[in-house]
Amino acid sequence: MNEEGLRVAGMTGMDVLSVSQYEPAMLREVFEVAQRMRSIVKERGGADILRGRVLAALFYEPSTRTSASFIAAMQRLGGSVIPITQGVQFSSVSKGESLPDTIRTLEQYADVIVLRHPEVGSAREAAAAASVPVINAGDGSGEHPTQALLDLFTIHDELGRLDGLHVAMVGDLRFGRTVHSLTRLLAQFDVKLTFVSPEILRLPLDLMNEARDAGLAVRETYNVADVIGDVDVLYVTRVQKERFTDLAQYEELKSFYVITPELMKEARDEMIVMHPLPRVGEISPDVDSDPRAAYFRQVQNGMFVRMALLASVLPPHGGRSDEA
């Protein structure tokens, strides 16, 4: 098969740890490869460029969505997967093995390691120990870079550009890892950002300043209704009841953050609604049939972006990278 264009040059052997690794030029290349991956999947299910490659999916926390996305991405490229997605805590690890030892063990079997771990910094620790590429699939309240990349890809793919867009982030902006990473990525482009949240769930000040320092127009409000008519992207996340000490306040506010068909009547024709999923009521299922509802396409884009990353970080010729 012609593998032309199915890798981003210069990424061989690279870890995927943080969105801060990605500048606009590289992002555009990743997105081009992801679009080619989509064409190939639609045409013939996948490509065979990672035949003989093995991915170890090491999930210390279960995450059906993310692990399934990586597994499908690897398999559609002809590679195979060691799924360690359940019960890690009952096995070697419970015998007190350190994360670096677990990683150095798995790299004896696998050519790339995808790691989900509850502790901030664990992906970086793993990458330091590993001679094969490590992909961070979420390290606690730290980062989840492939989620942010698929989010950005979706915006670019759906609207054809990033510069000049007005993006509103909605919901829990204080604790939402995906919102933080996406904000950092968007700060590299000429976008207008509006943050829509209850007072107690406002975006942390350092992130707000980071966006402002990058020269972005930034605004905050409490109610989606205030911005729905003006945005190109409405990025919705959940407002969790548990975050509120005053439940009366929660009850008063929660409807401000629910997307309904009525609300969508106020929105532009060419805008999109996104959500990292799972959702629990913050977008009405009645919105699903609206062509502007992009969240399931967003899910599939995750597979295409991960295919692009896997194909790029694995060395282009046969053999393992650690043949020292």
In the range 283-302, which residues lie near a copy of itself by CB under 8 A?
285, 288, 296-297, 299-300, 302
**Residue of 5, 10, 62, 204 interacting with a copy of itself (CB under 8 A):** 62
Q: Candidates 101-109, 173-181, 254-262, 265-273 — which segment interacts with a copy of itself by CB under 8 A?
A: 101-109
| Nearest CA-CA partner of 249 in 220, 222, 269 | 222
Contact predicate 74/80, CB 8 Å: yes
* 112 bridge partner residues: 55
| Nearest CA-CA partner of 197 in 116, 258, 257, 249 | 257
Q: Candidates 14-22, 160-168, 199-207, 271-279 — which segment interacts with a copy of itself by CB under 8 A?
A: 271-279
Cα 220 to Cα 169: distance, rounded to the nearest angstrom: 10
Cα 208 to Cα 74: distance, rounded to the nearest angstrom: 36
Binders of a copy of itself: how many residues, by CB under 8 A?
62
Residue 114 is a binding residue for a copy of itself (CB under 8 A): no
The CB-of-219 to a copy of itself minimum distance in angstroms stands at: 30
Give burial (CB, 10 Å; 0-12/13-18/19+) of 170. buried
Residue 80 is a binding residue for a copy of itself (CB under 8 A): yes
Residue 106 is a binding residue for a copy of itself (CB under 8 A): yes
Cα 180 to Cα 298: distance, rounded to the nearest angstrom: 18
Helix 145-159, helix 295-313: angle, nearest 10: 120
Residue 84 is a binding residue for a copy of itself (CB under 8 A): yes
**Residue of 4, 23, 25, 42 interacting with a copy of itself (CB under 8 A):** 42
Q: Tell me, what DSSP letter sits at residue 189?
A: S
Residue 173 is a binding residue for a copy of itself (CB under 8 A): no
Give Cα separations from 275 to 19, 207, 292, 305 (angstroms).
19, 20, 12, 17
Residue 118 is a binding residue for a copy of itself (CB under 8 A): no
Residue 83 is a binding residue for a copy of itself (CB under 8 A): yes
Chain contacts with a copy of itself (rule: CB under 8 A): 41-46, 51-54, 56, 62-65, 68-69, 71-72, 75-76, 80, 82-84, 86-88, 90-93, 95-98, 100-102, 104-106, 108-111, 277-280, 285, 288, 296-297, 299-300, 302-303, 318-320, 323
